[in-house]
Amino acid sequence: MDFSDSFLQELADRNDIVDVVGSYVSLTYKGGSYWACCPFHNEKTPSFHCDKDKQFYHCFGCGKGGSVINFIMEIENLSFPDAVEFLARRAGMEMPNDGDRAQRDRRARLLDLNRDAARFFYAALSAPGGRAAQDYMVRREIGPVTAKNFGLGFAPDSFYALTDAMREKGYQDFELVDAGLANPNQRGKGVHDVFRNRLMFPVIDVRGNVIGFSGRILGEGEPKYLNSRETLVFSKSRNLFALNLAKKSKNGYILLTEGNIDVVSLHQAGFDSAVASLGTSLTPEQARLISRYTDEVVIAYDNDAAGQKAAQRAIGIFQPLDLKVRVLQMEGAKDPDEFIKANGRDAFANLLSASENHIEYRLATVAGKHDLGTAEGKVAYLKEAAGVIAELYSPVEREVYGMRVAEKAGVDKAVVADEVQRARSIRAKAARRQAERSVVRDVRASVQPKDRALRYENTRSALAEEGVIRLLCVDATLLDACDLTSEDFSSPMLGRLYGMLREKAKEHAALSPAVLSGSFSPEEVAQITTLRSRPEPADDPGRRKALADYIGIIRAERDKRTVEDLRAYAEIIRNKKGYGG
């Protein structure tokens, strides 16, 4: 374990889980716990709760859970040591010197390397060899102040420019590969640069660390944009280009675009809340990241079929997050950069002011697919538009947009209302069927951990083992009545947890969520939190009776395994060549 139990416990004591979680999501106190919509999966009804007394969180929807350390690991995308360091800084605590710092040092080393690489690219941009990138920036009308704000740079058209420069600073080849800045040579030893002859966009996280790069090719070739691969410090699905700048904006909204150049152009024009995903479609993780900094999003994707499809998908991802979503439609330009260059900043500001909310956008998209001058087109439009309106939660919204659709199609509003009601009935029946299927699946899967790697081989024994663990966590004095050993457990994880509980009891100490976080993987901690969230008898006689029942099941299943193992061994002996003549 990297850190002592006493240090982890003090860390948790000085970082109350309700305070920490409450800085990321809005918590509501109800029934002895604090509740919120889970920040780790999309949901409309809160199933995520924080227990202030026990100092753990648990989501009944996705199964994630653990201590305050696990929460920071998950929401900040940090390793265990980095999450500990994050919380230590928050609490003003000194990090211990006797812990294993290998992982933290490796992460810090990669961040230093990325920073030095960004400085190399930045310097190369203004050097004589950076003429191709300078000319490209002139063509794209990117000014020097903007280039400096974004830290834009140039990757020389060389296989060894960056690697040679970084070696001079003391970095090793394996570190360059770990950072995604170099690839091993196919022939012989050594490595070569990943980014060559590209305008470089450093990707900077919200804490100001350079975590990766995006490079736009300056000549012929593919891909047009090349992004850093996944590394210890960089995940494309969990970060957004320029969010480090956009989070400081006073605009009150985040402007979501598809490309780095769009972002740069928008910031240069004064729209400093623009961000872009990193070579991928918008992910739920990115949407939740955006929701931490704003309650309104304007989608400004490219004005083509692919952009419209991506916008529709993004709307679906944002909807469960209770964000106000608007969609920008640009006539006569394929993207924000082209629109601003053709029409100017004020025209884009007017476009932004007139942008439609996502419902209007979706209905307009539906209308554009059908010929309302024909009976067939009108019927198809009404059915598809009714499907969109049927998804709306508010009856007022359904009535208002129903009236607009009726007016556009030239029919009575009652016709649209009936079609919407029919669509809602169909959706409700489908939802019930899905719920029924989910219940059956959940009953079958409820005894198993969410993570497949932790699946129980003997579910009857494992459920009893969970019960023993749960009772001992509630009342450590029950250990006197429990003579099981770790080897009696069918689940290695639960056996290891039981052994730790016994050791802690000898020391007259509790096995807290924070200490668990240092001894078990995040997946294991989530499962332990899940099993601890289930009820057990509250009175002493009831607990002792339940414990005896659990122990009886565990022993019976253990004896079965012993008999089965003996039979299997006997079968092996009988099948050995030459046995028994």
Domain of residue 43, CATH code: 3.90.580.10
What amino acid is encoded at 296 in this protein?
E
Q: Among residues 91, 126, 159, which one ends one of the domains?
A: 91
The token duo for 156 is: 């020389």
Residues in the chain: 581
How many angstroms separate the CA atoms of 100 and 455, rounded?
30
Domain match, 352 and 267 both: yes
CATH of the domain at 270: 3.40.1360.10
DSSP helix/strand/coil, 33: strand
* DSSP-assigned beta bridge partners for residue 30: 33
Whether residue 96 lies inside any domain: the answer is no
Select from 450, 454, 451, 500 the least CA-distant residue to 473: 500
Q: What is the pLDDT of residue 568?
A: 67
| Nearby residues of 325 by Cβ (< 8 Å), 6 or more positions away | 296, 297, 298, 299, 315, 318, 319, 357, 358
Q: CA 43, 46, 52 angle in degrees (round to 5)?
A: 135
DSSP annotation of 93 = P
Measured between alpha carbons, how far is residue 75 from residues 79, 352, 479 in Å? 11, 31, 36
Domain match, 456 and 441 both: no
Q: Among residues 445, 467, 491, which one ends one of the domains?
A: 445
Q: What is the pLDDT of residue 447?
A: 64
Select from 113, 84, 114 the least CA-distant residue to 100: 84
- What's the pLDDT tens digit per position in 189-199? 889 999 999 99
The token duo for 393 is: 């939660």
Whether residue 98 lies inside any domain: the answer is no
**What values do phi and psi take at 254, rounded to 5?**
-105, 130
Inter-residue contact 435 to 504 (CB < 8 Å): no
Domain range for 460: 452-575
Domain match, 468 and 483 both: yes
Q: What is the largest CA-CA distance in the chain?
A: 97
Whether residue 397 lies inside any domain: the answer is yes
The token duo for 408 is: 């556009």
Domain match, 469 and 538 both: yes
Residue with tokens 């989608």: 299
Q: What is the pLDDT of residue 76?
A: 84
The token duo for 312 is: 């529709």
- What's the pLDDT tens digit per position in 309-319? 899 899 888 88
Residues of the chain whose pLDDT is less than 70?
A: 1-2, 97-101, 103, 188, 431, 434-447, 450-451, 536-538, 565-566, 568-581
pTM of model > 0.85: no
| Nearby residues of 172 by Cβ (< 8 Å), 6 or more positions away | none
Q: What is the pLDDT of residue 574?
A: 67
Domain match, 308 and 344 both: yes
DSSP annotation of 536 = -
What amino acid is encoded at 362 in this protein?
R
What is the number of alpha carbons within 13 Å of residue 179 lying toward its C-beta?
34
Domain match, 115 and 211 both: yes
Stretch (H or E) spanning 198: strand 198-204
Mean pLDDT of the chain: 87
Inter-residue contact 232 to 110 (CB < 8 Å): yes
Whether residue 432 lies inside any domain: the answer is yes
Q: What is the pLDDT of residue 220?
A: 84
Alpha helices in 455-521 (DSSP H): 459-474, 492-506, 513-519
- Contacts of 540-544 with C-beta under 8 Å, sequence gap 24+, read 540/475, 543/471, 543/474, 543/475, 543/478, 544/478, 544/481
**What values do phi and psi take at 65, rounded to 5?**
-175, 175
DSSP helix/strand/coil, 482: coil
Whether residue 580 lies inside any domain: the answer is no
How many angstroms separate the CA atoms of 228 and 211, rounded?
9
Q: Among residues 214, 234, 254, which one ends one of the domains?
A: 234
The token duo for 574 is: 């009988």
The token duo for 25 is: 């999501």
Helices (H) and strands (E) in the chain, counts: 24, 16
Domain match, 532 and 431 both: no
| Beta strand pairing call for 254-257 and 296-299 | parallel
Domain match, 229 and 135 both: yes
End-to-end CA distance of the chain: 55
CATH of the domain at 477: 1.10.860
Domain match, 221 and 117 both: yes
Domain match, 358 and 375 both: no
Q: What is the pLDDT of residue 445?
A: 45
Inter-residue contact 500 to 519 (CB < 8 Å): yes
Whether residue 497 lies inside any domain: the answer is yes
Domain tally for the chain? Answer: 5
Whether residue 581 lies inside any domain: the answer is no
CATH of the domain at 117: 3.90.980.10
Domain match, 275 and 293 both: yes
Whether residue 97 lies inside any domain: the answer is no
Burial level of 375, CB count in 10 A (0-12/13-18/19+)?
Answer: exposed
Domain match, 441 and 457 both: no
